[in-house]
Amino acid sequence: MVSSARTRKDPTERRQEILRQAASIALERGLECVTLRAVAEPLGVRASLVHHYFSSAEALVVAAFELAISGEREVLFSAKGTPTDRLATLIRRVQDGAGDELARFWLNARNLSRFRSDLALALAEQESLDRRELVGLLDDGVAVGEFACSDTLGACVRIFTAIDGRGAYVNNLGEFHHPAYVHFVTDVAAWAVGVPVEELRARVAAVGVEGRDRGAASALGGAV
């Protein structure tokens, strides 16, 4: 129910509140569930107020997608340490299930982008930003002699293709524990950057628990 005594907030604060709520709905229920009314009701405001900040539900969906994915990027690339440590942390988060929420979100966005050119453009931009981050990490590894790959963009594409390939099965019922699947991203990454597979597997297995369970929802500042 909409409160008759709505709190007046700073416009920037209000817009961010609306956007975080939209991203929360998108992550929990899917981008197709982001509507002006669905966002307004939990905040105790009218849909017309949401419309004041976002010209349409379509514009709100795109903004929500961009916020959620930027949260994913912050988590994936927040690890400290050597380039190998940082790559191992990224892989561990993907392989141990902590990144399943975002894998589902990417699948959702890719499907909808077939019918929404604005979302397709946003998706392409976010993919480009992800590639820039990973290429930077791989360049650091080459610079200090940890990685042996002459084409870091190519290595980046192979790693993200492996991540996407694993994510394609995230909605399957039950669990699948064949080593070829469990270690798929690690094995592709090891090949892509030119390090021994067993060495990278060991580094991934040694990644600490701290920070691995942060999902995009936590990066939204507690909106969920």
Interval 162-181: pLDDT, tens: 999 998 888 887 777 888 88
Tell me the C-alpha distance between 121 and 65, whole Å. 11
pTM: 0.83
Highest mean pLDDT among 42-46, 60-64, 73-77, 190-194: 190-194
pLDDT tier at 3, thresholds 50, 70, 90: very low
Instruction: Provide the greatest CA pair distance for the chain.
Output: 64
In order of their start, the domains of the chain are 11-60 (1.10.10.60), 77-212 (1.10.357)
- Tens-place pLDDT, residues 86-102: 999 999 988 887 778 88
* The pLDDT of residue 72: 82
- Which one-letter DSSP state was computed for residue 208? -
Work out the end-to-end distance of the chain between its first and last CA atoms, rounded to an integer number of angstroms.
19
Q: How far is CA 218 from CA 75, 101, 117, in A?
A: 9, 12, 29
Band of the pLDDT at 187, cuts 50, 70, 90? very high
64-68 mean pLDDT: 92
Which tops the pLDDT comparison, 220 or 132?
132
Cβ neighbours for 175, distance < 8 A, ≥ 6 positions apart: none
Distance CA 139, CA 145 (A): 10
